[in-house]
Amino acid sequence: MSNEKSQIELFQTGENFYSQRYFGSHQVIHGEQEGYTFRVWAPNAQEVWLVGDFNNWDRSLPMEKEEQFGVWKIFTQRAKEGDFYKYLVKQIEGRELYKIDPFAVSFEKRPNVAAMVQTIPEKKWRDDDWQNQNKRSNHFKRPLTIYEVHASSWQCEADGTPYTFKKLKDTLIPYVKKMGFSHIEFMPLMEHPLGESWGYQLIGYFALSLYYGTAAEFQEFVETCHLNDIGVIVDWVPGHFCINDDALAYYDGTPQFEYTDPIQAKNIRWGSLNFDLSKPQVQSFLISSALYWIETFHIDGIRVDAVSNMIYLDYDEGPVLFDQEGGNRNWAGFYFLQKLNAVIKRTHPEVIMIAEESSSETKITGTVESGALGFDYKWNLGWMNDTLRFYAMDAVFRKYNFHLLTFSFMYMMNENYILPLSHDEVVHGKRSLLHKMWGDRYKQFSQLRNLYVYLMTHPGKKLLFMGSEWGQFLEWKSNESLEWIDLDDEMNRSMQYFTKTLNHFYKMEKALWELDHSSETIEMIDADNNEETVLSFIRKGKEKKDFLIIILNFSPIERQNFTVGVPFQGTYEEVLNTEMKEFGGTWIEPNQISQTRKEPFKQFDYQIQTIVPALGAIILKPKVINTRIKRIKNQFSEKIR
């Protein structure tokens, strides 16, 4: 069997995970002639022509069809590197449309959509130490603090154009390193025709948007991140695609990439089309895209957008669909995601796979063999919604709604969670995180610091959207730079310094991430103090002495002589206080070291007293403790069980 035929057959059976190496434009030697071969999958097209800069966009380059599999191809010496091109497709009913190359690795700058003849040169990577470290270590047991970035609006030039990756390499990377984030997550970087879609309406699944620079510049950016111990995650959208006539939509005049059922094909909520994930050719196309980004750009993780839309038939607006048994499961999407994760874990087990998924009916994280979808992490959107609703609430009513803060502890180990304070929560009239906080400006900053302590000490990995680290007051605007002018204000500067301090504190304290996805990582001290609206718990590392005591006060009343139970006799010192003056608060001195008293507090044999600032949070750490004294109550309770 020829290599070409095997490539096509693998594509047809859903097993060609490098299909971009066959389809698209490729520089080749054909006999003794050097030129380019173009291939496109359009099984029901009547005719296809290659048109571009090299033939004045006329019909002088008709493509030949391989009848069995519906692949059109042509070899030409007329095309050259950097030329723009499209396919003129005569569809099944005779309509002629200029279409993009679905496998193109570069396009002209939006809003134009012609593909570019481009060969991405092989890069000699210098990030071996980073890659080897990731392969040796377990990301579940490492700190993970993600800085979510929209590349078009982090910073812009004076004329409003966004920084390209060439400039982001010299600005964003030092900033992220200074601020103490472990990873950058980019909203989609693939080619999309409309900036207002934020990249979630894709046309080019193999192409970095030229708006952000060249593929080589992005490779340099990722490499520099790795040399600075920063990982890179990208958002990816395999569920739905741009409905534009000149892109993937009804490519050959039939439902080629989309579902045959027009109701299932149309995505009303987002004005797009849903991929038919049962088609083996679509599976080859999408899995090839994911592996292309991982291998071409050394990406450390992929966040799959809108997973609920892929696994449920009734997620969208409009008519409700059911499976053969009357349920709402989209089995095509379910099995595709299992296949995607299985392929990536087989080839790149160190790559982090993240699901943005909003239901609780399907096991998302865990092995495919266990029946889960195979993701490493799931965004905890329930935690996010409950938490932000609580912090926006007038403090008077918080004691009646304390469950909004404590409910997440009931299900926190059901999945491997990432706790997201993402772009979706600071746009479309939802207000910025700072603006959501109850009270005057001082109280808003106090509560934002409190919120970030709650985020960083709650089990689960962390994500924060750009601009939130200093408390930008205005909503995020996708077509403008962040409000960096805010940092002229002392309160914003102090907030930024607090976030930086908290990030570095989190990285240093193993108790906050070493056992993150084990129930052993946390012990509640008091989750029932709704009257004072104070929450207290312990986060633990592997070593018995490695633990932190977290106390969060959600009321505007300072709690004097506040009592909490502790596991061991000894002394405890304050290691973080959100109300210190350097962070924007009013405290000049931290709490004094606390000495235990031999008095029971719930399940604990010892207790300490301290002061908890109004709308503030403190973290205590054992200074000198005796871990050899046994906890009689725990021993007794073990005997009862």
Residue 129 lies in a domain: no
Sign of CA dihedral 215, 339, 383, 319: positive
Between CA 75 and CA 30 the distance in angstroms is 8
Nearest Cα residue to 549 out of 624, 608, 497, 600 = 608
Give the pLDDT of residue 2.
65
Q: Binning pLDDT at 50, 70 and 90, where does residue 640 land?
A: very low
Residue 305: active-site member: yes
Question: pLDDT digit string (tens) for 118-155?
Answer: 999 899 999 999 999 998 889 999 999 999 999 999 99
Question: pLDDT digit string (tens) for 93-111?
Answer: 999 999 999 999 999 998 8
User: In this structure, what CATH number is given to the domain that contains residue 586?
Assistant: 2.60.40.1180
Residue 605 lies in a domain: yes
Residue 424 lies in a domain: yes
Question: pLDDT digit string (tens) for 115-128?
Answer: 999 999 899 999 99
Question: pLDDT digit string (tens) for 4-58?
Answer: 779 999 999 999 999 999 999 999 987 789 999 999 999 999 999 999 999 999 9
Nearest Cα residue to 272 out of 301, 304, 235, 310 = 310
State whether 157 and 61 are in the same domain: no
Among 101, 185, 305, 574, the one annotated catalytic? 305
Give the pLDDT of residue 258.
98
State whether 530 and 576 are in the same domain: yes
Average pLDDT of the chain to the nearest whole number: 95
User: Which of these three, 512, 532, 564, is where a domain ends?
Assistant: 512
Total domains in the chain come to 3
The encoded tokens of residue 249 equal 């939509």
Contact (CB, 8 A) for 48 and 60: no
Between CA 596 and CA 123 the distance in angstroms is 59
Between CA 80 and CA 25 the distance in angstroms is 10
State whether 499 and 610 are in the same domain: no
State whether 579 and 617 are in the same domain: yes
Nearest Cα residue to 355 out of 364, 347, 346 = 364
Contacts 24+ apart (CB under 8 A), 247-252: 247/99, 247/100, 247/113, 247/193, 247/203, 248/100, 248/102, 248/203, 248/273, 249/273, 250/91, 251/42, 251/45, 251/89, 251/99, 251/102, 252/42, 252/43, 252/44, 252/45, 252/70, 252/89, 252/91, 252/92
User: Which of these three, 116, 151, 174, is where a domain ends?
Assistant: 116
Does residue 574 have a pLDDT over 90? yes
Question: pLDDT digit string (tens) for 344-375?
Answer: 999 999 999 999 999 989 999 999 999 999 99
Q: Binning pLDDT at 50, 70 and 90, where does residue 540 land?
A: very high
Give the pLDDT of residue 629.
61
Residue 402 lies in a domain: yes
Residue 620 lies in a domain: yes
User: In this structure, what CATH number is given to the domain that contains residue 91?
Assistant: 2.60.40.10
Residue 376: active-site member: no
Gyration radius of the chain over CA positions: 27
State whether 198 and 304 are in the same domain: yes
State whether 335 and 476 are in the same domain: yes
Give the pLDDT of residue 239.
95
- DSSP conformational letter for 214: -
Q: Binning pLDDT at 50, 70 and 90, where does residue 325 land?
A: confident
State whether 465 and 486 are in the same domain: yes
Question: pLDDT digit string (tens) for 1-12?
Answer: 467 779 999 999
The encoded tokens of residue 423 equal 């772009």
Contact (CB, 8 A) for 483 and 153: no
State whether 489 and 590 are in the same domain: no
> Which element (helix H / strand E) includes 74?
strand 71-76
Q: Which domain holds residue 25?
A: 3-116
Between CA 254 and CA 266 the distance in angstroms is 14
Contact (CB, 8 A) for 154 and 163: yes
Nearest Cα residue to 286 out of 229, 184, 380, 206 = 206
Give the pLDDT of residue 194.
92
User: Which of these three, 116, 131, 166, is where a domain ends?
Assistant: 116
Does residue 635 have a pLDDT over 70? no
Give the pLDDT of residue 636.
35
Over residues 565-571, the mean pLDDT reads: 97
Write down the pTM of the prediction. 0.96
β-pairing, 352-355 vs 145-149, is unpaired
Amino acid letter for position 5: K
β-pairing, 569-577 vs 559-566, is unpaired
Contact (CB, 8 A) for 615 and 534: no
Q: Binning pLDDT at 50, 70 and 90, where does residue 630 land?
A: low
State whether 275 and 337 are in the same domain: yes
Between CA 428 and CA 472 the distance in angstroms is 15
Percent of the chain with pLDDT over 70: 98
> Which element (helix H / strand E) includes 292?
helix 280-297
State whether 465 and 336 are in the same domain: yes
Among 185, 191, 356, 486, the one annotated catalytic? 356
Nearest Cα residue to 424 out of 377, 364, 476 = 476
Residue 243 lies in a domain: yes
Range of weakest confidence among 324-333, 512-521, 603-612: 324-333
State whether 315 and 203 are in the same domain: yes
Give the pLDDT of residue 208.
97
